[in-house]
Copies of this chain bind each other. A is one copy, B any other.
Amino acid sequence: MFRTIEWLDDTSQVRLVNQTKLPLTLEHIVTNSHERIAKSIKIMEIRGAPAIGAAAGMGMALAAIESKARTMGDLLEYLENAANTLNTRPTAVNLTWATTRMLEVAKSVTGSIDDVIQRLIDEAKEIAEEDVRMCRSMGENALEFIKPGYTIQTICNAGSLATVHLGTVGAVVRIAHEKYNGDIKVYSAETRPRQQGARLTVFEFIEDDIDTTLITDGMIGTVFREGRVDCCVVGADRILRTGHIINKIGTYTMAITANYHNIPFYSVAPTSTIDMETNPKDVIIEERDPDEVRIINGEYVTVPDAKVYNPAFDMTPPELIDAIITDRGVVRNPTEEKMRKLFPK
């Protein structure tokens, strides 16, 4: 199964998927240089908050090996410089979170330089494994809703490529696929304007031998009416305490269309995605560059100065959601009261 980033024990290298080459080429970058990792983060060869957190952790472990330091002082100095180098994207909190965690480990370990280096390697691998475990929990929690033979409708990409492995929706699909001996299929909506469904989701499920069919976003009505799918599983960029989910544009239209056909609609995301403060009416949806809609593959598909409305996300109300699936458990027919139970005092 497909890993976005991993530590290679035998050569003490990091291997990561070069996402700028997808979907036409699956190309890996294999490196023992923390500067090469920093470059990958900067130019988005690797992207997605959990994935770049893991990359930064592994970059710190590579730096420790590179340093050839003979004293703890030299090692820490080298690591602090490496942390600065790795922090190439200022708004990515996972980067500082991971490099800080690695520096704290380096400072706290007693023993030889080699012991410290080994401890840093273990910590970097642990950061990655924590993400894998969290995704796996979501996938396992979803199993009660997914039966053998099901076909799952997805939108956008909430797969491996944003995480270390499995993904969120990706975990639901992969764990059901594993548990049911491959008897799971996927319909992936292409997800205009940026087509993450076509470019990423189709790619990564085909890599894992999951039977995947691509459709355009407007085809969902026909796909649902013809009984081609059994349920919808979508991610969430933010979940409100009311059970509203904010996710990629097109999700709300899909939820309405699923509801009309009595097809269950599930949203899967880690509890870290849940915002217990904001009211639905206060959510501001980002509007993005009109050229995302006007230009595809470098060419205009409409009048170049056509007026465009391009909201990046939409909001789906809880009455259209059958369950929210998190790493801590499942909330059926979400309400504020039920959402609060995910966070015991």
Give the contacts of A221-269 with B (CB-CB under 8 A). Answer: 221-223, 225, 228, 249-257, 259-260
CB distance from A234 to the nearest CB of B (A): 12
Mark interface residues in A289-315 (1 if CB within 8 Å of B CB, else 0): 000011011111111101111110010
Contact B218 A191 (CB under 8 A): yes
- A314 closest partner in B (C-beta): B222
- The answer to whether residues A253 and B249 also contact, given A190-B301, A294-B214, A302-B190 and a CB cut-off of 8 A, is no
Residues of B within 8 A of A215 (CB): 293, 308-310
For A311, give its contact among B193, B222, B285, B300 (CB under 8 Å).
Answer: B222
A309–chain B nearest beta-carbon distance, Å: 5
Q: How far is the CA of A306 from the CA of B254 in the complex (A)?
A: 22
State in angstroms the CA–CA spacing of A252 and B220 once bound together: 9
Chain B residues with CB under 8 Å of A314's CB are 219, 221-222
| CA distance in complex: A314, B306 (Å) | 28
CB pair B253–A218 under 8 Å, yes or no, is yes
User: Which residues does chain B contribute within 8 Å of A78, judged by CB atoms?
Assistant: none
B302 with A219: CB separation less than 8 A: no
Q: Does A216 contact B (CB under 8 A)?
A: yes
A321 within 8 A of B: no
Q: Output the least CB separation between A178 and chain B (Å).
A: 21
User: With contacts A192-B192, A219-B250 known, is A307 near B214, CB below 8 A?
Assistant: yes
Q: Residues of A at under 8 Å CB distance from B?
A: 23-24, 155, 187, 189-193, 195, 198-199, 202-203, 206, 211-223, 225, 228, 249-257, 259-260, 285, 293-294, 296-304, 306-311, 314
Known contacts A190-B301, A202-B303, A228-B309; 10 additional CB pairs below 8 A are A24-B304, A191-B218, A203-B303, A213-B307, A214-B302, A219-B314, A221-B250, A222-B249, A253-B257, A256-B257
